[in-house]
Amino acid sequence: MAFDPLSDGDVVLERRPATEEIASDEKIALYDSEGSVLIVLNPSAAAIWRLLDGTRTLTAVVEELATAFAADEAVLWADVRSTCRKLTELGLVTLRGG
C-alpha cells in the first residue's frame, strides 16, 4: 500500500497561485487557467479551502473547523482528507515545499 501524505496531520497544503476564486454566498468557484480546471465547492469544502493557506497543518484545519461549527473532530477528518485529496488531484493545492 502506498504512503498517503494526507494521512499525516502535520502536512501543510497551500493553494496554487494560478487558482482564481469567485465567492458566492457560502460556495466558492475555483478556476485554474493553467490546468483548465473549474470546480464549485459546496459550503463545507469552501470552509476547508479558506483554511488551506500554506501555514496551517491539517490538524489545525480540523481543529478550527470543529470550533467554528461545533463539530466532532473525528467526523471532520474524513471530510477534510477527502476534500484535500480531491483538490490535490485537481492540482489546485500542493504540499508546502513539495
* DSSP bridge pairs for 29: 22, 40
pLDDT at residue 6, rounded to an integer: 79
pLDDT at residue 3, rounded to an integer: 54
All three cell numbers of 68:
467554528
CA-closest candidate to residue 47, choices 72, 17, 67:
67
* Residue 6 counted as domain residue: no
Q: What is the pLDDT along the chain (98 residues), one digit of tens a residue?
A: 555 777 888 999 999 888 999 988 788 999 988 878 899 999 999 999 999 999 999 999 999 999 999 999 999 999 999 999 999 999 999 988 54
- Strands 37-41 and 12-15 come out as unpaired
Q: What is the CATH number of the domain that holds 88?
A: 1.10.10.1150
Range of the domain at 85: 16-95
Domain count, the chain: 1
Q: Which pTM was predicted?
A: 0.89
Residue 80 · residue 61 · CB < 8 Å: yes
* Residue 9 counted as domain residue: no
DSSP for residue 96: T
SS3 86: helix
CA-closest candidate to residue 41, choices 31, 52, 28, 26:
28
